[in-house]
Structure formats: structure tokens, C-alpha cells
A and B are shown apart, each in its own frame.
Chain A
């Protein structure tokens, strides 16, 4: 079983729609959950960071973590064509261990 599962898409939605992106994971030691955005041939850019379960909102972005279900989500409201990118979920336990990434969901916002 893969540690982090993420639907690669592509996910295509019209401008202004609410986008829902999700990841599931199997390692119950994960405590820190992140969403990164990656444009083609660029480095990942941190969007949202959450510790343990709960919700976090930042502008048009909302991150949710449900540790009991081992499920995390990213919602994008009022989606814009500039939001078109690959969205990577990532997570880790404590200490200096590295991030475990999902494969990324390719999101396309149609004007």
C-alpha cells in the first residue's frame, strides 16, 4: 500500500468554481500536513500548512485534515486560471525526516 495516495487528474473546472483536492495516507505517524503548488518545471511552493487535525483558511484556500480517516483536503474558492498548476500534498512525522509527497493533481481552470 502506497503511503500517500493522490488522484493525478487532470481535473478541469470552469473559472469561479470551487475546487476540492484530496489525499489519503496510511502512516498514522504523520503529524504535519502541507499543500504545495507546482508550476511546470518549477519548484514546489508552499500554500498551506496544518498541524494535526482541523481546518485552516488563508484567503481563497482552505485546508482540512481528518486524522481519524487519514484524509486531507484542499479547497480553492473562486478559482482563477492562474490557479492552474499541479497541487501536491505532503506530510511528515516529527523530527528531521523528510516530507512524503503525493503524486500531485494536475488542475486546469478554464477561463
Chain B
């Protein structure tokens, strides 16, 4: 069964460092998303991406964040200068039809710990 894969599963970084989280969405999907979940809190929408550009972004997705689809398979989230409050689980998701069946497929997540 096709799945969304994310790397790394866990990354520990120092405050102020840049982090890149990587995702390989399901191959025929067209819409890509990043969500985050701070421990014990809700899953929160960060950004949606379609046709090589951002479709929507939340207020969490400030200038420290960027997304990119550098090739035909990868979808990355970059945090330029990490802060302690960026510590969270980051989930990548993809779907075939963005608007919208609700059938988002999530990866297993990348846990980011900022020290």
C-alpha cells in the first residue's frame, strides 16, 4: 500500500540552527501539506502546496518557515533559525484532490527537539 514517508524520524538541534525535514508524498498525489503537533496539543495546519507554490498557510507559518519541492518526489520543510517552541512532531500529508475529499494521508512524522 502506498504511503507517505518522512525523514528523519527524530532530529535534535540547537536553538538557532537550520533544520530541513523531508517527505516523500504518495506518487500520484498533487496536494501536499505540513502539520505540526506540539506534545499534548492539537494537530495544527502549517501550509498547503500545489503546483509548486503555496496555496494556503497558517499564522504559524512565518518567515522562519519555507517549503520546497526540489524534484518530482521530495517535499521539504525548512526552519531557518529554530526556537525552543518549534519542538514538535511535524507531519507531512498528501492527497490526490485538494478541494476536497478530506482523504489526507499522513506520514509517521518527524520529531524535532530544539535544545
| B-side contacts of A32, CB under 8 Å | 100-102
B48 x A97 contact (CB < 8 A): yes
Interface string of B33-63 (1 = CB under 8 A from A): 1010000011111111010000110100000
B102 x A43 contact (CB < 8 A): no
**Complex Cα distance A44/B37, Å?**
11
A88 at interface (Cβ–Cβ under 8 A)? yes
B41 x A103 contact (CB < 8 A): yes
A96 x B91 contact (CB < 8 A): no
User: Which of the segments B13-21, B79-87, B103-111 contacts the partner chain?
Assistant: B103-111
Taking a contact as CB atoms closer than 8 A, the residue among A41, A98, A99 that contacts B109 in the complex is A41
Interface string of A92-111 (1 = CB under 8 A from B): 10111111111110000000
Interface bin, chain B: 20 to 34
| A-side contacts of B35, CB under 8 Å | 98-99
**Complex Cα distance A42/B50, Å?**
25
B31 x A44 contact (CB < 8 A): no
Please report A residues at the B interface, Cβ cutoff 8 Å. Answer: 32-34, 36, 41-46, 49, 51, 88, 90, 92, 94-104
Q: Please name 17 pairs of A and B residues whose Cβ atoms are closer than 8 Å in the assembled complex, sorted by A.
A: A32-B100, A41-B109, A42-B109, A43-B4, A43-B108, A44-B43, A44-B104, A46-B102, A49-B101, A94-B99, A96-B99, A96-B100, A98-B35, A98-B46, A99-B102, A101-B43, A103-B42
Please report B residues at the A interface, Cβ cutoff 8 Å. Answer: 4, 31, 33, 35, 41-48, 50, 55-56, 58, 89, 91, 93, 98-109, 111
